[in-house]
């Protein structure tokens, strides 16, 4: 697994992964992101260095967005967390533990930047995704109804010590 900041040339692959994830989640009865995923948002995230692509065997397998603050969902907070958004794994790579490995990478990235927490939001009414994040050590911190698409559940996990390979 190679996690890297997305380049402009990665926008189509990231959009494809997000669209595929949205189609899959809809089979479970939930709506996720707009399809097709807005290219202007991806371009903005790439320009700001917030969009990441995860390559497996040289192929784009997943995407995620990392923010250093998130006042829209979490309010004004001290700079103590990294905020994980739009984590999506391509269906061809599902079931291999890639999502959990990405969360561990995010955790290490946050810890190396001196952040104490990883925070995220997910659909409040999707018990499956909530259970998934709880299995990864996230704790429910509240709900927020301000998202126009669906109510969200807010989750937080304290960063964990990571061994530095040297």
Are 60 and 10 a contacting pair, CB within 8 Å? Answer: yes
CATH number of 2-158: 3.40.630.30
Q: Does the predicted TM-score (pTM) go above 0.85? A: yes
Domain extents in the chain: 2-158
User: Which of these ranges, 51-55, 153-157, 161-165, has the smallest mean pLDDT?
Assistant: 161-165
Answer whether residue 162 shows pLDDT above 80: no
List pLDDT tens digits, range 9-26. Answer: 999 999 999 999 999 999
Question: Across all residues in the chain, what is the average pLDDT?
Answer: 94
Q: Is the confidence at residue 165, as pLDDT, over 60? A: no
The tokens describing 56, both together, are 């497996």
112: pLDDT strictly greater than 90: yes
- Written as six digits, the tokens of 158 are 């304290």
Residue 166 has pLDDT above 50, yes or no: no
Q: How far apart are CA 14 and CA 82, in angstroms?
A: 20
Look at residue 164 in the predicted model and tell me its pLDDT. 53
pLDDT digit string, tens, across residues 35-89: 999 999 999 999 999 999 999 999 999 999 999 999 999 999 999 999 999 999 9
């Amino acid at each position: 697994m190679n996690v890297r900041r997305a380049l402009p040339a990665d926008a189509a692959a990231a959009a494809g992964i997000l669209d595929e994830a949205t189609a899959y989640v809809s089979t479970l009865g939930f709506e996720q992101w707009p399809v097709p995923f807005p290219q202007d948002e991806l371009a903005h995230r790439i320009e700001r260095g917030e969009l990441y692509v995860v390559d497996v065997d040289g192929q784009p397998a997943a995407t995620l967005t990392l923010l250093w603050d998130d006042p829209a969902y979490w309010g004004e907070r001290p700079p103590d967390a990294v905020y994980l958004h739009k984590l999506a794994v391509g269906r061809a790579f599902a079931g291999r533990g890639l999502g959990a490995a990405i969360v561990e990478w995010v955790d290490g990235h946050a810890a190396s930047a001196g952040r104490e927490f990883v925070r995220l939001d997910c659909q409040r009414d999707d018990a499956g995704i909530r259970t998934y994040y709880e299995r990864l050590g996230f704790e429910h911190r509240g709900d927020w109804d301000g998202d126009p698409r669906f109510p969200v559940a807010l989750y937080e996990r304290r960063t964990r010590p990571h061994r530095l390979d040297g």
